[in-house]
A = this chain, B = another copy of it.
């Protein structure tokens, strides 16, 4: 016959197992960041809580590059544009001497990107317009099915952060509607966001180019034009959230200065709100970049010391990838 102590220990073990099994965020280490997320979700979803948020108002917005998936050494969409440049180069002999195409064709991404956002925009205009939206979607799908990250050799769709995937599932299980609000191309992301993140096209917001309505072969189509429609970065993120959603987010997640206004707009709403920024301080498992906290500076996706200071002052949760995540990618052992 088992002793009382044995039975108590067995019962405690069982409880612990149940608790562990029920942890919706297993890739998050116990700590302030994880605790702040869970405490917030519990208080806004508990009926009768003074901070209760009705289901239709449970909106959570996520930046994509550097927040949901890896954006180093350069954003994924640039690799996509690069492969398009290579594919289209035979039809464009002038690219051999014209920037940013010339540097790209030589494999020199750094020089091609020296001009920052403008170069990326020029690439998009030259390589990702002229076709219908349906044709474009297929081009993206074909590319993303096989394109691989230059350092890890994994598919880009495997370069998504496992802790954020768990967070998306956890929020949706708590009746949040999860949105992407990204500086990336809206139609680029929609081609795979549903499959990869479980986020449907109508919940993906991003930068866009203009389109033109046409009848082709008797059927209505939209043709992509080489003209910017909307730059969904910085203040643009607050503006697009209002335009597409018409509600302030209750929770917002970012990782760079481009997300500042989205976080401010979220915090500016009435009642309780939650803001979080991911700091990439894990050179071993991913990349380390800032320049906040003395981390190396990057041109695109910079997390400045000013953003870090603002996060601390405004009580935004700062996630240290190194400290707060016990797993970064699902493919890790």
User: Which A159-173 residues have C-beta < 8 A from chain B?
Assistant: none
- Of the candidate stretches A25-33, A217-225, A284-292, the one touching chain B is A217-225
CB of A312 within 8 A of chain B? no
CB of A96 within 8 A of chain B? no
Chain B residue at minimal CB-CB distance from A133? B242
CB of A153 within 8 A of chain B? no
User: Which A175-211 residues have C-beta < 8 A from chain B?
Assistant: 177, 186-187, 190, 194, 200-202, 204, 208, 211
CB of A247 within 8 A of chain B? yes
CB of A331 within 8 A of chain B? no
Copies of this protein in the complex: 2
Q: Nearest Cβ in chain B — how far from A234, in angstroms?
A: 8
Contact with B along A203-245 (1 / 0, CB 8 A): 0100010011101000111100000010000010011001111
Asked whether, in the complex, the Cβ of A202 is within 8 Å of the Cβ of B246, the reply is yes
CB of A79 within 8 A of chain B? no
Asked whether, in the complex, the Cβ of B202 is within 8 Å of the Cβ of A245, the reply is yes
User: Which A41-67 residues have C-beta < 8 A from chain B?
Assistant: 56, 59
Q: Nearest Cβ in chain B — how far from A60, in angstroms?
A: 13
Q: Nearest Cβ in chain B — how far from A269, in angstroms?
A: 9
Asked whether, in the complex, the Cβ of B243 is within 8 Å of the Cβ of A201, the reply is no
A307 CA to B311 CA, complexed, in Å: 56
- Of the candidate stretches A8-16, A84-92, A118-126, A260-268, the one touching chain B is A260-268
Known: A220-B267, A220-B268, A268-B221. A213 touches B246 (CB 8 A): no
Asked whether, in the complex, the Cβ of B264 is within 8 Å of the Cβ of A215, the reply is yes
> Which residues of chain B are near A264, meaning CB under 8 Å?
215, 220
Asked whether, in the complex, the Cβ of B211 is within 8 Å of the Cβ of A242, the reply is yes
Asked whether, in the complex, the Cβ of A247 is within 8 Å of the Cβ of B213, the reply is no
Chain B residue at minimal CB-CB distance from A215? B264
Asked whether, in the complex, the Cβ of A202 is within 8 Å of the Cβ of B247, the reply is yes
Asked whether, in the complex, the Cβ of A213 is within 8 Å of the Cβ of B239, the reply is yes
Asked whether, in the complex, the Cβ of A238 is within 8 Å of the Cβ of B220, the reply is yes
Chain B residue at minimal CB-CB distance from A267? B220
Asked whether, in the complex, the Cβ of A186 is within 8 Å of the Cβ of B239, the reply is no
A13 CA to B215 CA, complexed, in Å: 52
Asked whether, in the complex, the Cβ of B202 is within 8 Å of the Cβ of A265, the reply is no
A15 CA to B133 CA, complexed, in Å: 49
> Which residues of chain B are near A221, meaning CB under 8 Å?
268
Known: A201-B245, A220-B268, A246-B201. A261 touches B213 (CB 8 A): yes
Chain B residue at minimal CB-CB distance from A229? B243
A212 CA to B235 CA, complexed, in Å: 8
A64 CA to B223 CA, complexed, in Å: 26
| 7 A-B pairs (CB sep. < 8 Å) | A59-B202, A177-B202, A186-B246, A202-B245, A212-B235, A220-B264, A222-B242
